Structure 1
Amino acid sequence: MRKRLLPAAVVLAPLALAGALMAQDAPRLRGPEPFTEEQDAPPMARPITNDVRVRRNYPDQPPIIPHSIDGYALDLNANKCMSCHARRFTEQSQAPMISVTHYQDREGNTLGGLAARRYVCTTCHVTQTEARPLVPNRFRDMDELTEPERQPGGRNNR
């Protein structure tokens, strides 16, 4: 039995239309046209450095870094974060101690030191800035989402 092939225009037309529709709705993140012109990079947003701990938006969210980390050593030989956040330095530094999970391997076994997979703090923890969002953000805090449940007549009060 011989298979019949569809003409290329029939196959490619819907893909081209879908691409055009997505391109209209997608925000521009690449910069000004033409893209071949070399542009200066925009200035980096300044980090918020007020040392105020920020409430987390959802369970298990890694805390943000509320201070500058410019010049912090974070390589195979040194981890500057641990000079304040390690358990033995928290009383003097008044910094929060890192979670006990940072001393566990993938299987949950407690280690004698910081787990290698948790060594690079900035993999999960970031500094906060006042940067303008690149795309609109409709994020709602977890408390805002669960607030109707606490109101009289909410799901948990019936």
Structure 2
Amino acid sequence: MKKPVLAGIAALALITGIGGLAIAQQQDVKAMRSDPVDALNRLGPDFKWEGKEGRMQRNYRQQPPLIPHSIAQYQIDIRTNQCLSCHDWTKAGERSAPTLSMTHYLDRDGNELDHIAGTRYFCNQCHVPQADVPALVDNRFEPSSPIQTR
């Protein structure tokens, strides 16, 4: 008695799966921007600086700084990180670039290193370029207000 029930459930699942696949293939998948879904996202050439002294305004506490320039041609892989050619503490002064936070030179156990920690090596995990492009979806996000102290 259990075998016919299991066979029926399996057949129903198969039919539902095939029907769902057929419906999904009939739907036209649309990108959120004007480019086709399989095309690379294009960023506008104009990067927007906000705030004073060349720093972009952050929208919430602990937000990683935004990148004020294009990184489209930057090589960031296991062998090379072009961000470090300007932002590493040994070169930032001569390149007039902001240095990396000291947290980027701490290993998982909090030990200070002379080189960037492996957990912080891929910059674009947290830092993204800010581009002046239309929003993908309607957004009602409001930046957090400063902390009030009494």
TM value normalised by structure 2: 0.65
Q: What is aligned with 1:91?
A: 93
Q: What is aligned with 1:8?
A: none
**Unmatched segments (≥5 aa) in structure 1:** 1-32, 151-155
* Greater RCO, CA 8 A, separation 6+: 2
Q: 2:73 aligns with which of 55, 68, 71?
A: 71
Q: What is aligned with 2:107?
A: 105
Q: How far apart are 1:77 and its partner, in Å?
A: 1.6
Q: Greater CA deviation, 105-114 or 80-89? A: 105-114
Cα distance 1:72–1:45, how it changes in 2: closer, same or farther (>3 A)?
A: closer
Which aligned runs of 4 or more in structure 1 are off by greater than 3 angstroms?
A: 47-52
Q: 1:49 aligns with which of 47, 51, 54?
A: 47
Identical amino acids, percent of aligned pairs: 39
Q: What is aligned with 1:35?
A: 28
RMSD in angstroms over aligned alpha carbons? 2.9
**Unmatched segments (≥5 aa) in structure 2:** 1-25
- Total equivalences in the alignment: 116
**Counterparts of 1:65 and 1:47 in 2: how far apart (Å)?**
13
Q: Would the aligned equivalents of 1:47 and 1:128 in 2 still touch at CA under 8 Å?
A: no
Cα distance 1:93–1:40, how it changes in 2: closer, same or farther (>3 A)?
A: closer
**Counterparts of 2:121 and 2:112 in 1: how far apart (Å)?**
15
**Counterparts of 1:101 and 1:55 in 2: how far apart (Å)?**
21
Q: What is aligned with 1:132?
A: 134
TM value normalised by structure 1: 0.62
The answer as to 2:64 corresponding to 1:62 is yes
Corresponding letter in the other structure for 1:49: F
Q: Secondary structure of the residue that 2:98 maps to in structure 1?
A: coil
